Chain A
Amino acid sequence: MKFQPGMEPERYELDGPLPYRFSFRRRSFFKTVGAGIVVVALLDKALAQESGRRGGGRRPAPQDIGAWLHIGEDGQITVYTGKVEVGQNVRTSLTQAVAEELHAPAGSIRLVIADTQLTPYDAGTFGSRSTPDMARTLRRVGAAAREALIDLAAENWKVDRASIKVADGKVVDEKSGQSIEFAQLTKGQKLAKAIGENTATSVPVGNSLPKVDADKLVTGRHRYASDILLPDMLYGKVLRPATLKGELVSAETKEAEAMEGIKVARDGNFVGVVAPNDLLATRAVKAIKAEWKSSPQISHKELYAHLKKNARQPQGERGGQHTGSVKDGLQAADLRNSQTYTVAYIAHAPLEPRAAVAQWEGDKLTVWTGTQRPFGVRADLASAFHIPESDVRVIVPDTGSGYGGKHSGEAAIEAARLARAAGKPVKLVWTREEEFTWAYFRPAGVIEISSGAKKDGLLTAWECHNYNSGGSSLRTLYSVPNQISEFHSTDSPLRQGSYRALAATANTFARETHMDELANSLKLDPLEFRLKNLNDVRLRAVLEAAAKAFGWGKKAKPNHGFGIAGGSEKGSYVATCTEVAVESGKVKILRAVTAFECGAIVNPDHLKNQVEGATIMGIGGALFEAIEFENGQIKNGRFSDYRVPRFSDAPQIESVLLNRKDLPSAGAGETPIIGIAPAIGNAIFAATGKRLRSLPLRATAS
């Protein structure tokens, strides 16, 4: 696959057409949103260039606007950003960013997000970038809007602006005590202000603002993409190949076409139907007699050998990093260890499967769909239908989760093709089996680590190779004078792509398991051994915080074990301690303590929710999740065969948040997932003496 500079190599699914130009026209703003004040955040040149680089240098800088804010003549504050809400609470945290700077109640701010017609271009909601980039941008926008209101008030009252401030959604002159509503200042205005990077902002207050729109979510009033209903809408279903990579040889559709209310759409390899309801659509697809050509494909049993066999040499700066001489380091060591670790393919299985509603009006297309890349999906649609992007509108209602698994727009393209055939709006909701089979998976991987250490516990050498799963967090965070870290791309038998925290989960599992092995061989306490080799103060801090809250150092009951692991990814730091009980090969996680640090905390309660949720979600990949496949078939593509964490799997859970107000806020939706698997594996070792080096961990495996 094509490698894009500036991106993590494991974002395989993003290997497609990329950005375009969005120009800023002052007049069009007011035409769309009405009079008032508009503040537009221009992205700094460095960021624009970085984004442009991704297009291979052939395209113009894709964007120059990050977000904008409008205060209408009625005082309504509306913020426009291209980010997507998938459960990470971005709607709340971004509202908070504006509210804190503008000094207006959160309830008075409306966020319009992820609508390609209304919001500025955004590359996508991934990589934990919403907090460090978009929240920062919105803080600047909020601050500039506040200053603009103060200017207007000063002019209005003919007083010095120094005594004017904004508080509780009003502008107040502290000297005279007079105050004025936003609406009175914005009435009749057409004030546009473009701001750059230099707008001063403040540090997040750190309040636990309740979730915005929670009332719509608990009443069922919120409409996910799969809930959208349009007049005259029909229901679509796509004929799927008999096997992965299957090619259509022939399809006999006469019987389906003869069914009442059915229309069949055939276009190259694509065959689908539309029907008045989902049952009729399912029946019609079943009535199609299709022949598929399939090629032999490997099974999950041969996976790791296959990945190793097809490995390529690392390329470029992201492929490998070398420091000192590993050979010398190993020679100088008193203890050497060389091990192989593996991680399975796992499925994101977002509870809302891929879904889309598509509507054509002439040659103009509107699609509601759940994706983490609305603008990317717009480009895909334009390209699939040979129409300009300006004729395509993608709207992403707050979505039933993604975890990195919704960077693509298959359902959108399929629904649009069916809607064109039907001449009416069409809804297409993937079944759970389709989601398990035709979406993409978290990459499987093989990780090899060779290390050396002195008797006193100091590391002398560390060599690490990751095959296929990715390079994120591959380089060890411990201080080792001699290191090699290399990522090797290879041939993936399954379609794969981003997953929450990318390969940091795999690489942290391998590294933290290996560290535990060394500690055990050196007869050192696992925490003490880590700290001895650790100069990174932020990682030290979370390890110590987790250990303290957990009560590390106590003696475990028989058949019980304690495990610890830590890591860093996307600018945040995590450490997890667990207690497990192992009874006749059955692992029960009794307790998990996760310490997390992501700079200045934006919303402590929502951060805890993310940390707890990620820790429990990580139990799935740690203990039971693995995609089984054979001859182009996914063998366990349904919830009755593929076990995900449930209530009964949730241990007693604690989270410890470290607030570093002196550091910029980093994203927090991904990293808290990376510590749990090695912490569990290390605890199983402590309980049983059995070292497990494959995810999922199977205590009964030989």
Chain B
Amino acid sequence: MANVSSLNINGKAFPADADPERTLLSVLRDDLQLTGAKYGCGEGECGACTVLLDGVPVRSCRRTVGSIGQKKIETIEGLEQNGKLHPVQKAFIDADAMQCAYCTCGMIMSAVALLRKTPKPSRDEIIRAMDGNICRCCAYPRIMKAIELAAKGGAQ
């Protein structure tokens, strides 16, 4: 299989030259300098590497870059528009929904996907959508509050 030569990230074509068997996470971070998605476990259990693929949250550590094709990838770096934070990003700051914040980018991407599909989620819906994301500092109540805050403000 030929090397991957281009990826569609945050609405732009990114030139690449990557072994198709490498993980999407590795290529985003190491080749394209998009380090917002983090390595946390390599087995899709912690959600720190979450990006959106055609709007669906996926674990980029479990996807080979060769399997992506021209699907639309959204990363944390694409959320801010014209220097303005995305409402979910702002809500995370307002609710102080982080400690070490290593999980935060993955949390925000999962939350953005949830709110697009379910703009006014119930507590149970939030828990179900977010349960694959680990915050080892356990700031869970605040992250839930941030998502509710963003939902109230009509985050998209």
Please list the residues of chain A having a beta carbon within 8 angstroms of any beta carbon in chain B: 85-89, 210-211, 214-215, 217-224, 226-227, 229, 235, 277-280, 349-353, 398-401, 403, 429, 431-432, 605-606, 609-610, 612-617, 638-640, 644-648, 650, 653
Contacts and interface: CB of A to CB of B under 8 A. Distances in A.
B96 A211 contact: yes
Given A218-B104, A432-B43, A639 B96 contact: no
Given A219-B89, A616-B140, 20 more contacts: A217-B101, A218-B89, A218-B90, A220-B105, A223-B35, A227-B35, A278-B22, A279-B22, A350-B100, A350-B136, A351-B38, A351-B103, A351-B134, A400-B38, A401-B136, A432-B41, A609-B139, A638-B41, A644-B136, A650-B140
Given A211-B96, A218-B92, A401 B22 contact: no
In order of increasing CB-CB distance, the 4 nearest A-B pairs are A220-B36, A87-B100, A400-B102, A87-B99
A647 B108 contact: no
Contacts of B39: 226, 353, 429
Most-contacted residue by chain A among B80, B89, B96, B144 (CB, 10 A): B96
B110 to A, nearest CB: 10
Interface of B: 19, 21-23, 26, 29-31, 33-43, 45-46, 48, 75-77, 79-80, 85, 89-90, 92-93, 96, 98-105, 108, 126-127, 130-131, 133-144
Contact of B127 (A87, A88, A227, A648): A648
Contact of B26 (A211, A218, A223, A279): A279
A351 B46 contact: yes
Contacts of B80: 219
Given A217-B101, A218-B104, A609-B139, A646 B131 contact: yes
A434 to B, nearest CB: 10
Contacts of A432: 40-43, 46
Contacts of B19: 277, 279-280
A689 to B, nearest CB: 30
Given A227-B29, A617-B138, A650-B140, A219 B93 contact: no
B93 A647 contact: no
Contact of A215 (B21, B23, B85, B141): B85
Contacts of B43: 432, 638-640
B104 to A, nearest CB: 6
Contacts of B141: 612, 616, 650, 653
13 contacts: A218-B85, A218-B98, A220-B37, A220-B75, A220-B77, A279-B23, A351-B48, A351-B103, A401-B100, A610-B99, A612-B139, A617-B136, A646-B134
Nearest to A89: B99
Given A277-B22, A351-B134, A639 B35 contact: no
Given A218-B104, A222-B101, A432-B43, A650 B138 contact: yes
A214 B93 contact: yes
Contacts of A645: 138, 140
A220 B35 contact: yes
B100 A229 contact: no
A617 B141 CA distance: 12
A563 B130 CA distance: 29
Given A219-B77, A351-B48, A431-B42, A605 B134 contact: no
Most-contacted residue by chain B among A218, A278, A616 (CB, 10 A): A218
Contact of B76 (A220, A349, A640, A644): A220
Contact of B101 (A87, A226, A278, A653): A87
Contacts of A644: 134, 136
Contacts of B26: 277-279
Contact of B126 (A89, A612, A647): A647
Contacts of B126: 647
A434 B151 CA distance: 39
A529 B35 CA distance: 54
A88 to B, nearest CB: 7
Given A210-B93, A235-B30, A88 B41 contact: no
A226 B38 contact: yes
Contacts of B104: 217-218
Contact of A217 (B98, B131, B136, B140): B98
B79 A609 contact: no
B29 to A, nearest CB: 7
B118 to A, nearest CB: 15
Contacts of A616: 138, 140-141
Given A220-B105, A432-B40, A648-B131, A352 B139 contact: no
B102 A352 contact: yes
Contact of A351 (B40, B108, B130): B40
A85 B42 CA distance: 25
Most-contacted residue by chain B among A616, A647, A653 (CB, 10 A): A647
Given A219-B80, A220-B105, A226-B38, A401 B137 contact: yes
A571 B41 CA distance: 36
A277 B32 CA distance: 13
Contacts of A280: 19
Contacts of B108: 218
Contacts of B38: 224, 226-227, 351-352, 400
B46 A639 contact: yes
A399 B38 CA distance: 12
A215 B101 contact: no
A211 B45 contact: no
A639 B92 contact: no
A614 B140 CA distance: 11
Given A224-B38, A639-B45, A647 B139 contact: no
Contacts of B48: 351
B127 A647 contact: yes
Contacts of A614: 138
Contacts of A222: 101
A309 to B, nearest CB: 34
Contacts of A401: 99-100, 102, 136-137
Given A226-B38, A648-B131, A613 B137 contact: yes
